[in-house]
Amino acid sequence: MSKSVLITGAGSGFGKLSALALLERGHHVIATTENEEQAATLHREAPGLVVEKLDITTSDIEHVSQWTIDVLINNAGAGETGPLADVALDRVRRLFEVNVFGTLRITQEVLKSMVQQRSGRIIIMSSIAGVVAAPSFGPYSMTKFSLEAMGKAMRSELAPLGVDVTLINPGPYLTGFNDRMADSMWEWFSDASLNAPQAELFHVVGDFVTTAQRDPQEVVERLVQLVEAESTEENNFVPPDIKAQLGLA
């Protein structure tokens, strides 16, 4: 059955690939992007998509509650790395504004109609970083741990109202996001600020996240399954054995 799917952060990465895959499967897809350039590009590539510029960190999303949405994919997000002893609080605040408060803001808007119709699904893009915090990835993990709490609480709260909430937890996938995030700390931080073992640790972790990244189509396929499934699990790790690979299971 065709569903109406709203995807945030569809200008690139998992969001864009998922929008195209869901459109191909006959779903009505509203793909939102951070800026007009991304919106124009996406509309040219896939005229069948409904494309909207939408900034989840602003109040300009209030009209979203007027749309009939069956599934919301909360994909929009930002990445930031750096040692927590040194990272500027403004950087961490910005990360929370996008990943946590922005996600909660648009979810609340979409839920207005879902609760009224007593049906719907919220898919939250978490991460393996939402269950394990690695050195230098603390700022990002803080936001993903928060999304884990949000998703788990909402899943229990909304189930009696007919709304399903689930989290997806990808490992390192080749979308460009991980590379930009791993590099972000070096825009303001220097090895000269670290002792040798600490510097080596940060570089090793950054290399681990950005080396041998997997095909993002695996995550896209899981997202499509979650959109179409009758029911979901609380967490969906991709690949399924990523926790075992990291010694967490």
Would you name the residues annotated as active-site residues?
140
145 CB-near residues (< 8 Å, 6+ apart): 130, 131, 133
d(CA 163, CA 120): 5
Cβ contacts of 17-26, under 8 Å, gap ≥ 24: 17/216, 17/217, 17/220, 18/73, 18/75, 18/220, 18/223, 18/224, 19/46, 19/49, 20/45, 20/46, 20/49, 21/220, 21/221, 21/223, 21/224, 22/224, 22/227, 23/48, 23/49, 25/224, 25/228, 26/2
Non-local CB neighbours of 116 within 8 Å, separated by 6+ positions: none
- Relative orientation angle of helices 196-210 and 177-184, to the nearest 10 degrees: 170
